[in-house]
Structure 1
Amino acid sequence: MDAELFYILVGSVVVAAISRWRGWPAPLVVTVAALAASFLPFVPDLDIDGHVLLNLVLPPLLYSAALDVSFVGFKRSLPQIQRLGIWLVLFTTLAVGLVAWLILPSLTLPGALLLGAIVAPPDAVSAAAIGRKLGLPRRIMNVLSGESLINDATSLTLYRVFALILAGTTVTIPNGVWQFVLAVVIGVAIGLVFGIGLHQLRMRIGDAVVIGTFGLLAPFGAYAIAEHLGGSGVLAVVAMGIYVGYNSPRTDYTTRQQEKPLWSSADLLLESFVFAYIGLQFPRVLNDLGSESVGQILWLSGTVLLVVLVVRPLYVFPANAWANRSDRRRLARVDRGIESGAFDQRRKKSRRWRKYSSEELRTQIVRERMAGLQLTWKDNAVISWAGMRGVVTLATALAAADLATGSSGSLSDTTLGAEASHAIVVVAFIVTVGTLLLQGMTLPLLIRRLGIASDSEQEEDAAALAAVQAKTREAGKEYLAAKRVEWESRHGSIDLSVFDAFAKRMTRVEKDADQAQQVEDAVARPSYEELAALSRGWLQVRREIVLAERDAGNLDEEVMRELLAAMDAEELALDTRGVIRQER
């Protein structure tokens, strides 16, 4: 078993690496390759418990995704994310459950709804990969990424409720709502506790290896403790990841530089294995069916796949239209308030908004609170077709199979029979593979045909970047002027012309990482250590300006991360040069 697992891991990573090298969507290629390999006689039959798969794979994948989420973008897109991550999951669960119950009454209504909860949440791993490759605008990527972070929590909470019903527990609608609220509150609270604790460690411990190790362990701890206390482990990991990711720019640069390749490698390994496992298990799942019920279950699987494909666009377009209508009404009230002067009076009383003019504030409100108005029908077409299923659907389906065998602890007295559990697993596998192939292979074509690109965002980013660089130059001049006075008082009458040249170079060319060495080569005084400290102070001033602009919503988080990466490289060059000098 250990050797077989190792071979599958290596094989899936090799296929994923080739896909990345060729520019192909790795999840789709790995799934297809594994599906083809599963029919070969020498390929091992790998069987992993669904609960184990869910507990070992989901926390690190969620945490890694949450680290890269733009908190500002997440907050702006929260209305769409809530509609997709909560209400669309409920809508899909009900639609699939009713259809499945009508086609296969032996599932029972709770069992059919359990199936609906299993296939409801899309996995945006492949959708996000395709979107980044094709340059989807951030307004779409924020929605897809945010949806994938919270829809799993909704789905797993529904799964827990329907599993309890199958086990004979009486669960009312208020009871179910209370369980969901409790899961959200406990999950978010545990996640924030872990996030704050991990952030404090990152601020106080200078060893990037130790911090990276704690970062690897923390998602499993947050997930397990939240689930043990009746909360949502998914939301615990997501809350922790968003908090740590948002505050990551305040930690030491070595932590950031070690963290990114670490999680990129973990993502590649786990995602490759999961999608390979999906493909490898499909033939075995079909073989587990009895010959008498194969036709009926395949008919059920095809129908559920069709329902899953159709329900999403049927929900996305009307829900977005309704939300836009509400946003336009709110915007009309703002405009009437501006015309009457009442809005201006409220603006002046607000500490947050008084710095804006009325028209600037209107633009800010649209950007922060009415992000739905920015989505066009083309954007919604892409969102409605980016519904590929993945690891959560697979793992919960395998866990549901345990309900019939009694291997899931307290749910051993379930009314879910063996045939029904096999049907759920087959349907989940067909829906997962079908959406990965149908939607995953056609999504790039849809994006190209609709002509959706991020050109306008690139222009906005360039303008925001220019504004930030202008502010950093001004702040740098003030910093250097203060330092010049300090150096004059410390060194007396030494020649500070080199300092002036340094200051001129620093305020003119921000990407020159070799300036301290150039200055030191020109004159022995001031010392190299002082010039290096001056460089680090200048970098810190720039970081503070960039973070302030991010916090104010004037700079997108992705642009901020690119700027910080360049600054981190400059600081690394300074430290490396200092080490070389000490060794000489």
Structure 2
Amino acid sequence: MTFFETLVALLAVAILLLQVTRRMRLPYPGILAAAGVAVAMLPGAPTIPIDPPTALALFIAPVLVDSAYDFPVGAARRMLLPLFFYAVVAVLVTTGVVVSISMLTVGLPIAVAVTLGAIVSPPDAAAATAVLSNLPVARRVDALLKGESLFNDATALLLFGAALTVQARGGLDAGTALQVGFAAPGGILFGIAFGFFVSRLRPITENTVGGTLLQFVYAFSTWLIAEHLHLSAVLATVASAMTLATLSSVKDSPRMRVHSFAVWTTVVFLLNVVAFLLMGLQARRILEAMSAEELQRAMGFAAIVVVGVILARMAMAFLLHAVVASRHRRGGELAPFTSGETLLVGWAGMRGLVTLATAFALPADFPERDLVVLTAFTVVLATLVIQGATLAPMIHFLKLGRQTEVRDELKAARRSLAEAAFQRLEKEGGTEAEAIRTICKDHWTASTDANETSPLDRRRHLTIAAVLAQRQRLEELRDTDQIGATQYLELQEDLDWKQLSVGSDEDRRITES
């Protein structure tokens, strides 16, 4: 089998498994990881060499950009201490734990041990979000997990790059220290400047396919240019993406935004599928090359690392809980998480795409590369399967679901939006303005009344019935050759938008699983 044939096979399996996980309400990342390994073990699966710099740019740059656009800036401002703790302190402590385990059990050199620690230290919020998306939890828990993911990736990748540099040069000299020290601030400044530059190009490409392509070009370009300038590519990418997200205006094209979100969701999911497949292919090669004694040593070491990273995050979670509670008693504004929320955040430490990509990025001649890569893959699989599969039951057991609060918050926001529209049109005259005011009033009524037969619901049902009749007539016009293919597609899109505009939240949402 060629790589393309193997990839198609895995995509087919992934589609099937997504339907299974959706119906059984299971987290898909762990299932997908296991499927990637299983497909890679099929007879005839190819061995695919991966260029290390390409692996980082290909897999990490789009994920960072996607996360930066989802970053909850407002909530993050109120949680600077927890974000700093998880994004910096927890990553450094976890790396330290892995370094200690590595040196005491298998005697890895310090630079190699730090590299492994940097690879396995950052949890992947996408994996947690895949589980939590259908299980509403407290808003600040969700904000913390998303915000942490963006910045702990930056911390871990900075540490990873520094460790690789020290290993390649045989030690830390003044020149290396200066280069590493300048990489972070230089990357941030470059990213902000590049983000401003790209923001000037966006209006030119708005509402075109080129506009969506520009988003990917700038994501990869930011990374590649920063690397050529010996700056922190990860911080440059995060800074440029957050700059663009901040500069986004309420006047931005909604058509472009809808299209971009759909494309990015699909691309990031595809990258996860490819990464898990490549993980399985590399694991297969490593396992085939190891003797029974070497494999026993490697798996024993990997198991200890898995336990170490899980316990380190749990310890950091409860340490932060104690620190915030102590500050709150002394008048601090930030209220501590409950014990259940602390346990949830500590347990939501699944590793994912970033860990895989950094493992792929290790040079072929890196000392103990096979052991490091196999350990990283084991950590990803173990955390996705063990923690991912138990996260939802934990939420139910601890009664952390916040379905009512989330629904009430959404209703209040919709009521506020309807009021804003009504106030804007209040002084406008004419039957058209009155009709729109009636619609706004119906939206306000629907957000305050749980009655299923509100005017908005009746209008929704009638509109959908009318659209379905129009669709039937449109099909008849096409079948009898009374309308051309181009006109058919244009009218079909008109009906799609009309139906979506009155549809429910579930009708408009495309879920991964």
TM range (shorter): 0.7 to 0.9
Q: CA deviation at 1:510?
A: 5.5
Q: Is the 8 A contact 1:71 1:242 kept in 2?
A: no
Distance of 1:172 and 1:114 partners within structure 2: 18
Distance 1:7 1:460, change over 3 A: same
Distance 1:267 1:248, change over 3 A: farther
Q: Is the 8 A contact 1:51 1:396 kept in 2?
A: no
Q: Name the larger-Rg structure.
A: 1
SS in 1 for 2:134: helix
Distance 1:374 1:172, change over 3 A: farther
SS in 2 for 1:134: coil
Q: CA deviation at 1:131?
A: 1.0
Deviations 1:373-408 (A, max 9, x none): 25211111111111112222223223335243xxxx
Paired position in structure 1 for 2:139: 138
Distance 1:475 1:569, change over 3 A: farther
Q: In structure 2, what residue type is equivalent to 1:28?
A: G
Distance of 2:180 and 2:357 partners within structure 1: 20
- 429, 432, 438: which one pairs with 2:377? 429
Distance of 2:355 and 2:206 partners within structure 1: 40
Paired position in structure 1 for 2:183: 183
Q: CA deviation at 1:422?
A: 2.2
In the alignment, is residue 277 of structure 1 matched against residue 278 of structure 2?
A: yes
- Name structure 1 gaps, 5 residues minimum: 332-365, 405-415, 485-495, 519-567, 574-584
Paired position in structure 2 for 1:315: 316
Matched ranges for 1:289-438 at <5 A: 289-331=290-332, 366=333, 370=334, 373=335, 375-404=337-366, 416=367, 420-438=368-386
Q: CA deviation at 1:102?
A: 0.8
SS in 2 for 1:268: helix
Paired position in structure 1 for 2:93: 91
Q: Is the 8 A contact 2:95 2:114 kept in 1?
A: yes
Distance of 1:224 and 1:75 partners within structure 2: 30
Distance 1:275 1:77, change over 3 A: farther
Q: CA deviation at 1:218?
A: 0.9
TM-score when normalising by structure 1: 0.70
In the alignment, is residue 452 of structure 1 matched against residue 414 of structure 2?
A: no
In the alignment, is residue 476 of structure 1 matched against residue 425 of structure 2?
A: yes
Deviations 1:174-214 (A, max 9, x none): 985x7666333223223222333333333454433221111
Q: Is the 8 A contact 1:183 1:232 kept in 2?
A: yes
SS in 2 for 1:379: helix
Matched ranges for 1:111-190 at <5 A: 111-171=112-172, 182-190=182-190
Q: CA RMSD in A?
A: 3.0
In the alignment, is residue 220 of structure 1 matched against residue 169 of structure 2?
A: no
- 8, 11, 16: which one pairs with 2:9? 11
Distance 1:238 1:426, change over 3 A: same
SS in 1 for 2:314: helix
Distance of 2:426 and 2:208 partners within structure 1: 32
Distance 1:180 1:90, change over 3 A: farther
Q: Is the 8 A contact 1:183 1:231 kept in 2?
A: yes
Distance of 1:166 and 1:305 partners within structure 2: 24
Distance of 2:197 and 2:499 partners within structure 1: 26
Deviations 1:492-548 (A, max 9, x none): xxxx5x356446435534698x9xxx9xxxxxxxxxxxxxxxxxxxxxxxxxxxxxx
Q: Is the 8 A contact 2:59 2:354 kept in 1?
A: no
Paired position in structure 1 for 2:210: 210
Q: In structure 2, what residue type is equivalent to 1:443?
A: L
Q: Is the 8 A contact 1:69 1:245 kept in 2?
A: no
Distance of 1:103 and 1:258 partners within structure 2: 51
Deviations 1:44-90 (A, max 9, x none): 33332333222111111221222222222233333212111111110
Distance of 2:433 and 2:416 partners within structure 1: 24
Distance of 2:144 and 2:174 partners within structure 1: 29
- 431, 438, 442: which one pairs with 1:505? 438
- Name structure 2 gaps, 5 residues minimum: 445-455, 464-495, 502-513
Q: Is the 8 A contact 1:192 1:239 kept in 2?
A: yes
Q: Is the 8 A contact 2:187 2:233 kept in 1?
A: yes
Deviations 1:311-335 (A, max 9, x none): 110111112221332244234xxxx
Percentage identity across paired residues of the two chains: 28
Distance 1:507 1:119, change over 3 A: closer
Distance of 2:4 and 2:250 partners within structure 1: 36
Distance 1:164 1:572, change over 3 A: same
Distance of 1:56 and 1:461 partners within structure 2: 36
Distance of 2:179 and 2:409 partners within structure 1: 43
Q: CA deviation at 1:294?
A: 2.9
